[in-house]
Chains A and B, each alone.
Chain A
Amino acid sequence: MSMTPRKRYLIEALSAMAVYMAILPLTILAFRHYAPESVWVRVVLAVLPMLPLFYVMTAIIRLVRRQDELQQRIQFEGVAFGFAVTITFCFTWFFLQRFDVVPSIDLIWVAAIGIWAWVIGKLIAKRRYA
């Protein structure tokens, strides 16, 4: 029996995440232990954990390409929802920050909100066609 696109994606994404979880502590340890002065060494250490995440990104693209037309529509609606929520959050936070209401936050929070909004958007779209 052939593997569904989702199953194949999960295998690809989970193996990449396992590699990420293995590399991340090593790069943090290396950075703390050796405290490299060279910018290039720091760039390599900082970006090294991104290699498996880059593979996850290509796995997402492969997943969408393997899916059928309804699944692709659900993905699109999820991404559209996630994008709209993230942009709205960014603008709202930007103005609140400019008016000294909220502090400056790390970009990683934008990524986290984007991912969660995408997942919620996909669930909403999935329910619509269920």
Chain B
Amino acid sequence: MKNRLKVLRAERDWTQQDLADRLRVSRQTVNAIEKGKYDPSLPVAFRIAAVFEQPIEGIFSPEEPA
């Protein structure tokens, strides 16, 4: 999965820790999601959508087929 987490976070001038606190996860988890190394569960994805006030599909998109 690709995501726009880093861009959305930068727009709000939040650190990874700021976002992690809002999502009630660790900073490492935010970092892994931003780098595309970990796809969050649906509950966390919904929390991300709520924090950024955007629909999930506006933040996450499937990887382009190779």
Count B-side interface residues using an 8 Å CB cutoff: 12
Which applies to chain B's interface (DSSP): helix, strand, loop or mixed? Answer: loop
The answer to the question of A129 belonging to the interface, with a C-beta cut-off of 8 Å to chain B, is yes
Taken together as a complex, chains A and B put the C-alpha atoms of A8 and B44 apart, in Å, by 24
Question: How many cross-chain pairs have Cβ atoms below 8 Å apart between A and B?
Answer: 30
Contact B28 A69 (CB under 8 A): no
Instruction: Closest A residue to B25 by CB, please name it.
Output: A68
1/0 contact string of B11-34 vs chain A (CB within 8 Å) = 000000000000011101101100
Q: How far is the CA of A67 from the CA of B25 in the complex (A)?
A: 8
| A contacts with B, residue count (CB < 8 A) | 10
Counting CB contacts under 8 A, is B37 at the interface? yes
Q: Name the CB-closest residue of B to A1.
A: B21
The reply to whether A70 and B24 form a contact with Cβ atoms under 8 Å apart is: no
Q: Please, how many angstroms separate the alpha-carbon atoms of A73 and B29 in the complex?
A: 11
Q: In the complex the two chains form, is B29's CB within 8 Å of A128's CB?
A: no
Q: In the complex, what residues of A have CB within 8 A of residue B37's CB?
A: 128-130
Known A128-B37, A129-B37, A129-B38; contact A71-B29, beta-carbon cutoff 8 A: yes
Instruction: Report which A residues bind B (CB closer than 8 A).
Output: 4, 67-71, 73, 128-130
* Residues of B in contact with A (beta carbons under 8 Å apart): 24-26, 28-29, 31-32, 37-38, 40-41, 44
